[in-house]
Each structure stands twice: as structure tokens, then as C-alpha cells.
Chains A and B, each alone.
Chain A
Amino acid sequence: QVHLQQSGPGLVKPSQTLSLTCAISGDSVSKNDTAWNWFRQSPSRGLEWLGWTYGASKYYNDHIRSVRGRITINPDTSKNQFSLQLNSVTPDDTATYYCARAKGGTFAYWGQGTLVTVSS
């Protein structure tokens, strides 16, 4: 059974970097047929798909203009996990962040969610 366990701080100061990690059990971040994703959700914007790491490639959702150029998603094969970094955060980045696995076109497994508040 696949399980995704998120970790990371719930409070980040403006202009700093938001860093979250998603530890994988029951699957591998290295598999070439599986993508490892980050989403965020807020009442004002709904569910936003931020991007993924997929084998040797990355995808960042260009439609989310507010995160363009600030986001990095990286795999860590030694720890079987992947991470999200969002630089230069503002209060507008306050949201619940989720990691998720994509396979066969669907997102069937999700992390528990991390509420990240950007505030001084």
C-alpha cells in the first residue's frame, strides 16, 4: 500500500523559502512510470496543481503565474522522498499544501496536507 507522509514547517516568514518534504512508502520516487506531485489549496484559489518530478523530468504548471520562477520540485532517491521549495514567499502563498502520486493519469494517493501560513 502506498503511503505519503508530509513534513515541514507550518509557519514561514515573508521573503523566506517554503520547504516541504513528502516521504514515500510502498513505492519508489525513481520509477519511470510514476509522477510525484505537489498541489496547494486555499479558499480563494481552490485546488492548484503546482507540478511534478517524473523520472528525469520536471513539470511546473505555468498557469499558476504567482509561483513562476520561484518553485522547485526535487526527488531524493537516497531517502525515497521528494521535496517542494517555494522561494520569496508572500502571504498570498498561504495555503494547505499536498503531495500526491500520479500514475495512469490519476492522482490516487495523497499526503495528509500541511497548512503553511506566511506571516511575520
Chain B
Amino acid sequence: EIVLTQSPATLSVSPGERATLSCRASESVTSNLHWYQHRPGQAPRLVIYGASTRATGIPARFSGSGFGTEFTLTISSLQSEDFAIYYCQQSNAWPWAFGQGTKVEIK
């Protein structure tokens, strides 16, 4: 089974700064890697699918990159609404799997 490892567990960032989140897969997931944002009290939201495509309604400050086993989610200039937990998820092989999450908190 594929295991996704996210780092860091917590990222402290000031508003307006860049945030870079990492997701590493235990074996190749090609580009079948997706990112979700989960704000407190709200449902999770798909942010990036297929490693690099922004989902509907997601601002351009969110970008995804990577292929195979190494992936990155970048938020170019953090806004207050971006402080949340971010999860990566792979759908390349069964069973699908989620990472344990990276919490982006206000510094």
C-alpha cells in the first residue's frame, strides 16, 4: 500500500508570506496526487487535483507541482482564510490514501 508522508506537521507563517508544503509518496503515484484544505468548522475543499490543476474557484496564489513521489503545494502570499490543515491524497493505486496533514498556522 502507498503511504503519503506530509511535512512539516505544522508550518508557522506570517500573512503575506509564502508557504511551501511537501507530500512524499512511498512509491510512484505519477500525477494522481490531490490536495485538500480543511478549515475549522467547514467541510474539506479540493484545492489541487492531478498534482498541478487548481480546482474550481481556487485562487491563483495556490499552485501544485511534482510527479512520481515528490509533490509540493505552494501558497504564494498567505491570506487569513488560508490558515487551515492541508491534506494530500493519492488515487493512483488502490487503496487510495491520505497524508496525515500539515497545519498552516499564523506566526
Residue positions of A touching B, CB distance < 8 A: 39, 41, 46-47, 49, 59, 61, 98, 100, 104-108, 110-113
Is B45 located at the chain interface by the 8 A CB criterion?
yes
Residue positions of B touching A, CB distance < 8 A: 32, 34, 36, 38, 41-46, 49, 55, 85, 87, 89, 91, 95-96, 98, 100-101
Docked Cα-Cα span, A55 to B7, in Å, equals 36
Docked Cα-Cα span, A110 to B95, in Å, equals 20
CB distance from B99 to the nearest CB of A (A): 9
Docked Cα-Cα span, A41 to B44, in Å, equals 10
Q: Is A98's CB under 8 angstroms from B101's CB?
A: no
Docked Cα-Cα span, A104 to B46, in Å, equals 13
Q: Is B46's CB under 8 angstroms from A108's CB?
A: yes
Residues in B whose Cβ lies below 8 Å from that of A61 = 95
Residues in A whose Cβ lies below 8 Å from that of B49 = 104-106, 108
